Structure 1
Amino acid sequence: MSTTIPVSIDTTPRGRTITTRRAFALRRGLGFLLASAFLVLVTFLIIPLLPGDPARAVLGTRATPEAVAALRDRFGLDDPLPVRLGDYVGGLLHLDLGVSYRYGTSVSETITTKLPYTLTLTALAIGVVLAVSVPLGVVIGVLTRGGRRPRLALGFGAVAGFMASVPGYVTGTLLIVVMSIWLDLLPPGGAMHPSSAVLPVLSLALGPLFAVARVVRQETQNVISQDFMRTARGRRLRATRLYAVHALPNLLTSTLTLCGLIISGMIGAAVVVESVFNYPGIGQEIVQAIIYKDYPVVQGIVLVLGLLAILVNLLIDAVLGLLDPRTLGESHV
């Protein structure tokens, strides 16, 4: 008597599927617009809500009233708030993020110069997280299924919990001490050589790597306890096909959901890690902008990083919709 793996047949009418996808796209598009509008409003309010006079903060306490008035007039700080908001939104529509108080240059140019460094670090860290955490979580989940190897399960849980809780800047500091000072294997900072990115990438990746691996391990154990996996094992499929073809696709939904949150956090964490390693990215620039009260640069960087986080979550939602069509109808319109 042969056994077969149950196959799920989609009986949803094609027209209804298309309508569901359109509704999904409409919801996500509307959510993106609302989140972006809120982000624009928040970044605009950075300057008006700051205590004191931004012009005085930039020029210093010894600046003459004439110089302060000239700077306020130059950057429109005396205009009514609605007018300033209109100018800010109008500039954004033309990809103009304003002018740096400190340099008198375009904020867009500053971000365009620095952002590639930050995106490179983040992309490499995300690659490390996905390349290591998913296989690691699956292997540990398989080895410890059904209460097997309790010591391995306990040890992995303790190590993963500890590593996931350590901030990236602490990890970065420890890596500098061990890898650069004690062992003299890697440069402690800068971006003069490709190897300079190794320690910042590890600092960004280690915590999220173990956080994702814990979720993957738990999801692996949930998936392999399902009836269709028992049937697949009964057919004596090879381990690679059993877990890669049958188990992996079923545990990716929750994994990708967590990855979306982690990736958004990594974009912000990169700002701090870059400061630890003196890496010439957005992190260094925003620190300098805060020190010198260069508020338009702060506005621009916060806006760009926020939009990147929103886009990442939108992309994750789209990928989840492709992998698991059931997520398309999570709310009906």
Structure 2
Amino acid sequence: MTTTTDTSTVAPVPGRLRQLKERVPPRADFAIRRIGRLVVSLIVVVLAAFFLVHMVPGDPVRATLGPTAPASLVEATRAQLGLDLPVLQQLGNYLTGLLQGDLGTSIQSGLPVGATIASRFPTTLTLAALGFVVAVLGALPIGMGAALIARSGRGRTVNSGISGFLGILIAVPDFVLSVGLISVFSMWLALFPPAGWGDAGNVVLPVLGLSLGAMAYLARIVQVEMIKVLDSTYIATAKAKRLPQRVILLRHALPNIVTATLTVGGLLLSGLVAGTVIIETIFAIPGAGNSLISAISSKDYPMIQGMVLVYAFTVLAVNLVVDLILLTVDPRTTIAEG
């Protein structure tokens, strides 16, 4: 006796998935997709960091212990750190440690990588956050002022000068700008110390060296977007109503450049986090960047991998936060682009 199953009422799997997706609100669907991209990106970063570091020629243990270290000590250290195991087995141990919150042990210092990062990365985040605040606070008035001058038609020379100055700041690399700041404000004028971290005076030059290029780039974006907004119909209507200039700018013009400013600002913040590596090296700041440079010099695999993961996670998290903010500010455009 055979039995038959009526499948006419059972929706195919793709159809079920489509129905479930249609039931999910657009904002939640956008957030889920963004978080999924974050997870996939982190997996790629973990694998890339592990294999790329292991592809670098040379023995990290020998580089740390020195060329005169006995071979027995080198072999014992390699066995202690698990570097004598096959690469795939090292990868398995590394992934297991990551799932348990263990980033490994530094070959150079013998300290846990997580402890080193926990003690140094807050300084890096502080530097990046201060640089971002300075960049935004400087870019908004400069960009808006340049747009107003360009639209007035009476300040072509001033507008050209502002655009040229911003272009120079954008073109000059951070390390060249930082060296120039040290030469002028530390060596020549003796206003600020050339290196160090902790006091208010130590913060000024590193933050300026990190933020001036980003500020100039963001100011140009604000200028272009503001000119577009000032040429729009609703601004002409607001002017026809004889609203004060301050009201037109703050209530009507400024909110309409938020989307573009946030998008570029998020990218700049990610770049500032990565740019701290150079700034910390120039100004001898005891942050994660200094530790990363030292780890690369000594081929300290666990420290390099840990630092790369933390930097990558920070950048990806910043991008995710910016996307979620944009979802709140301009949900239709953000969801359509996502």
| TM-score normalised to structure 1 length | 0.91
- CA-CA distance at 1:146 after TM superposition: 6.3
Q: Secondary structure at the match of 2:54?
A: coil
Equivalent residue number for residue 81 of structure 2: 75
Equivalent residue number for residue 264 of structure 1: 270
Equivalent residue number for residue 25 of structure 1: 31
What is the rounded CA distance, in whole Å, between the counterparts of 1:76 and 1:104 in structure 2? 14
Equivalent residues in 2 for 1:107-186, closer than 5 Å: 107-145=113-151, 147-186=153-192
1:206 to 2:212 alignment: yes
Equivalent residues in 2 for 1:1-333, closer than 5 Å: 19-145=25-151, 147-331=153-337
What is the rounded CA distance, in whole Å, between the counterparts of 2:24 and 2:254 in structure 1? 27
Q: Secondary structure at the match of 1:102?
A: coil
> Gaps spanning 5+ residues in structure 1: where?
1-14
- CA-CA distance at 1:292 after TM superposition: 2.6
What is the rounded CA distance, in whole Å, between the counterparts of 1:257 and 1:200 in structure 2? 25
Aligned residues: 318
Paired amino acid for 1:98: G
**Aligned in 2, Cα 1:326/1:283: closer, same or farther, shift over 3 Å?**
same
Would you say the 8 A contact 1:46–1:299 is kept in 2? no
**Aligned in 2, Cα 1:198/1:94: closer, same or farther, shift over 3 Å?**
same
In terms of Rg, which structure is larger? Answer: 2
What is the rounded CA distance, in whole Å, between the counterparts of 1:148 and 1:75 in structure 2? 69
Paired amino acid for 1:243: L
- CA-CA distance at 1:194 after TM superposition: 2.0
Would you say the 8 A contact 2:327–2:335 is kept in 1? no
**Can you list the C-alpha shifts for 1:27-63, whole angstroms capped at 9, x where unaligned?**
1011111111111111212432111322222223223
- CA-CA distance at 1:330 after TM superposition: 2.0
Equivalent residue number for residue 12 of structure 1: none
**Aligned in 2, Cα 1:291/1:329: closer, same or farther, shift over 3 Å?**
closer
Would you say the 8 A contact 2:149–2:156 is kept in 1? no
Paired amino acid for 1:53: D
**Aligned in 2, Cα 1:53/1:272: closer, same or farther, shift over 3 Å?**
same
What is the rounded CA distance, in whole Å, between the counterparts of 2:279 and 2:192 in structure 1? 16
- CA-CA distance at 1:147 after TM superposition: 4.5
- CA-CA distance at 1:324 after TM superposition: 0.6
- CA-CA distance at 1:18 after TM superposition: 6.3
- CA-CA distance at 1:83 after TM superposition: 2.1
| TM-score normalised to structure 2 length | 0.89
Paired amino acid for 1:55: V
Would you say the 8 A contact 1:20–1:328 is kept in 2? no
> Gaps spanning 5+ residues in structure 2: where?
1-20
**Can you list the C-alpha shifts for 1:262-312, whole angstroms capped at 9, x where unaligned?**
111111111101111111111221222222332211211111111101111
What is the rounded CA distance, in whole Å, between the counterparts of 1:331 and 1:158 in structure 2? 33
Would you say the 8 A contact 1:21–1:328 is kept in 2? no
What is the rounded CA distance, in whole Å, between the counterparts of 1:96 and 1:26 in structure 2? 27
Would you say the 8 A contact 2:53–2:301 is kept in 1? yes
What is the rounded CA distance, in whole Å, between the counterparts of 1:207 and 1:318 in structure 2? 26
Q: What is the RMSD of the two structures over their aligned residues, measured on CA atoms?
A: 1.8
**Can you list the C-alpha shifts for 1:88-138, whole angstroms capped at 9, x where unaligned?**
122122221110101111011111111111111111111101111012111
What is the rounded CA distance, in whole Å, between the counterparts of 2:23 and 2:269 in structure 1? 30
Deviates more, 1:270-279 or 1:63-72: 63-72
Deviates more, 1:228-237 or 1:43-52: 43-52
Paired amino acid for 1:111: I
**Aligned in 2, Cα 1:215/1:148: closer, same or farther, shift over 3 Å?**
farther
What is the rounded CA distance, in whole Å, between the counterparts of 1:148 and 1:254 in structure 2? 27
What is the rounded CA distance, in whole Å, between the counterparts of 1:80 and 1:191 in structure 2? 42
Paired amino acid for 1:240: R
Deviates more, 1:239-248 or 1:15-24: 15-24
